[in-house]
Amino acid sequence: MKSLKAQHSILADANEQIEIIEHGETGDFALIPFQQKLEQSNLYPLKPAFVEILQVNVGKMCNQTCRHCHVDAGPDRKEIMTRETMQQCIDVLRVNEQLKTVDLTGGAPELNPNFQWFVEEISKLNRHIIVRCNLTIILANKKYHDLPQFYKKHNLEVVSSLPFYSQDRTDKQRGNGVFQDSIKALQMLNEVGYGAEETGLALNLVYNPAGAFLPPSQQSLEQEYKQALKQKFGIEFNNLYVITNLPISRYLDYLLTSGNYERYMEKLVNAYNPVAAANVMCRNTVSVGWDGYLYDCDFNQMLELKVNSNSKHLSDFNINVLSKRDIIIGQHCYGCTAGSGSSCGGAVA
Amino acid sequence: MNEHYYNSKDLAKFGNVADYQKEMGEKFFAYYGEVFKDSELSAREKSLIALAVAHAVQCPYCIDAYSSDAFEKGWSESQMMEAVHVACAIRGGASLVHGVQMMNKVKEIAM
């Protein structure tokens, strides 16, 4: 499967996406504006709480082409963070100690040729590092087989998508053979100590719905996952994060082509939860694009909505200025406030 | 024909039945909510039972609601279809088991 960009889809254009998200495919689909909901919750304008996470998207290249990917990542995407931009991240971290966590995402972050160097440099600054590993990368090539050891050496928290504990749903969303490879990769991570309470090596899994529906309760699904993975494959992990799919990029494409878009958006709006809204991740995160520009979150990044601030790029990063900005919102934000909420760390309410 | 006895949008209006009988309506929905909570059976298991019962009583609203709910709660397509077969087997069996009554009657009157 090719990325939307390679297919020259109109959805590869961020402005086209925003137009559809705000007004529907025919331009006359109107739901309660997200801003109005925030106003009712006394949260508008949405402001940062305490910025402590630097989420860095090191490139859009990926060995998988998942059907729900909001990045439109894939093997044909060439956007990749350079070592110079990574150095700018390091410089920002060095002078901003309140950025306690660095969250590495992509694409498959490991496909960036400077990934290991970058991790080593961040490690020297004594920060908590999260890697959003798609699992199959570990088996994709011999040179990646030692990734579990590398993660362990730098005490990385590994967060990995496994949309379900059965092959059928996982492969439908992430591609044929992904489930089997993911299971092997999880076993490799377990072998070096990931997922076992006593090692402190955190292995967290991510569930996201394989279809046009909201995720179930995080707590009960985690128990099911733990039972099923332990029983069938002997796999252990720490936490399950349930994440709602946002109507962006390939998931938006799926919603539109399957005729589910309007129903799904109505579902999100009806499930608006003010408690989740107060805890959205954009309030404690700054997202960095592959080219060093700054965004409120990875979703705004994919919609090319740069932060509403004079500090727009790593080269002029100013945490005080960024902490006072108004966070850019849109109808897609309903995805993070539905039900128990959704963030890169799962439910928030 | 544009008019139908069943309209899928009516499912979202289910709660409105309390408008005409508040006390009974509220009691029913409180009970309903309690029934579907995690308890001795998980909410997930109850969802699959509800799906089977929905087919047994042939309620289109319930089939709509519990097809979504069961799938969202992680039941696979084949598991859900097996649940429908359970409903079918019980319904079919309920007819067929009365064949024993028929046999009894025939044996009573036949030479």
Which residue carries 């600054």 as its tokens? A125
Interface probe, candidates B37, B44, B45, chain A, greatest A C-beta count within 10 A: B44
Residue A220 pLDDT grade (very low, low, confident, very high; cuts 50, 70, 90): confident
Using the Cβ of A210 and the Cβ atoms of chain B, whether some distance falls under 8 Å is answered with no
Task: Please tell me the predicted confidence (pLDDT) of residue B8.
Answer: 87
Residue type, A121: E
pLDDT at B1 over 80: no
pLDDT at B91 over 60: yes
> What whole-number distance in Å separates Cα of residue A280 and Cα of residue A46?
10
pLDDT at A212 over 80: yes
- Nearest-CA distance from B90 to chain A in Å? 29
Numbered residues of chain B with Cβ closer than 8 Å to any chain A Cβ: 38, 42-44, 68, 71-74, 76
Task: Please tell me the predicted confidence (pLDDT) of residue A340.
Answer: 86
Average pLDDT, chain B: 95
Answer yes or no: do A220 and B42 touch at CB < 8 A.
Answer: yes
Which residue blocks in chain A are alpha helix, DSSP H? 14-23, 34-40, 83-95, 115-124, 137-140, 147-153, 167-174, 178-191, 218-233, 249-257, 261-270, 274-278, 298-302, 319-323, 334-337
Which residue from A174, A252, A177 is spatially nearest to A212, judged by alpha carbons?
A252
Mean pLDDT, residues A66-89: 97
pLDDT at B3 over 90: no
Average pLDDT, chain A: 96
pLDDT tens track for A293-341: 999 999 999 999 999 999 999 999 999 999 999 999 999 999 999 988 8
pLDDT at B101 over 60: yes
Task: Please tell me the predicted confidence (pLDDT) of residue A36.
Answer: 98
Answer yes or no: do A211 and B76 touch at CB < 8 A.
Answer: no
Using the Cβ of A209 and the Cβ atoms of chain B, whether some distance falls under 8 Å is answered with yes
> What whole-number distance in Å separates Cα of residue B68 and Cα of residue B61?
11
Task: Please tell me the predicted confidence (pLDDT) of residue A1.
Answer: 87
Which residue from A119, A143, A146, A149 is spatially nearest to A131, judged by alpha carbons?
A119
pLDDT at B2 over 70: no
Residue B47 pLDDT grade (very low, low, confident, very high; cuts 50, 70, 90): very high
Mean pLDDT, residues B64-77: 94
Which residue from A172, A237, A163, A236 is spatially nearest to A206, judged by alpha carbons?
A163
> Do the beta carbons of residue A238 and residue A130 sit within 8 Å?
no
Task: Please tell me the predicted confidence (pLDDT) of residue B77.
Answer: 94
User: How is residue A217 written in tokens?
Assistant: 């309760």
pLDDT tens track for A157-191: 999 999 999 999 999 999 999 999 999 999 999 99
> Do the beta carbons of residue A111 and residue A63 sit within 8 Å?
yes
User: How is residue A153 written in tokens?
Assistant: 């050496």
Q: What is the number of CB-based contacts under 8 A between chain A and chain B?
A: 23
pLDDT at A40 over 60: yes
Sheet strand arrangement including A53-57: A240-242, A203-207, A157-161, A128-132, A101-105, A53-57, A285-288, A294-295
Check the CA dihedral A246-A203-A163-A61 and report its sign.
positive
User: How is residue A260 written in tokens?
Assistant: 């589910």
pLDDT tens track for A138-162: 999 999 999 999 999 999 999 999 9
Task: Please tell me the predicted confidence (pLDDT) of residue A276.
Answer: 96
* Count of Cβ atoms closer than 10 Å to residue A98 Cβ: 9
Task: Please tell me the predicted confidence (pLDDT) of residue B39.
Answer: 94
Interface probe, candidates A166, A213, A245, A269, chain B, greatest B C-beta count within 10 A: A213
If phi > 0 it is left, if psi is from -120 to 50 it is alpha, else beta; for residue A206 that is beta
3-state secondary structure chain B: CCCCCCCHHHHHHHHHHHHCCHHHHHHHHHHHHHHCCCCCCCHHHHHHHHHHHHHHCCCHHHHHHHHHHHHHCCCCHHHHHHHHHHHHHHHHHHHHHCHHHHHHHHHHHCC
> What whole-number distance in Å separates Cα of residue A81 and Cα of residue A112?
7
Mean pLDDT, residues A75-89: 98
> What whole-number distance in Å separates Cα of residue A24 and Cα of residue A243?
23
> Do the beta carbons of residue A220 and residue A248 sit within 8 Å?
no
Exposed e or buried b per residue across B69-82, where buried means at least 16 C-beta atoms within 10 angstroms of its C-beta: bbbbbbbeeeebee
pLDDT at B107 over 60: yes
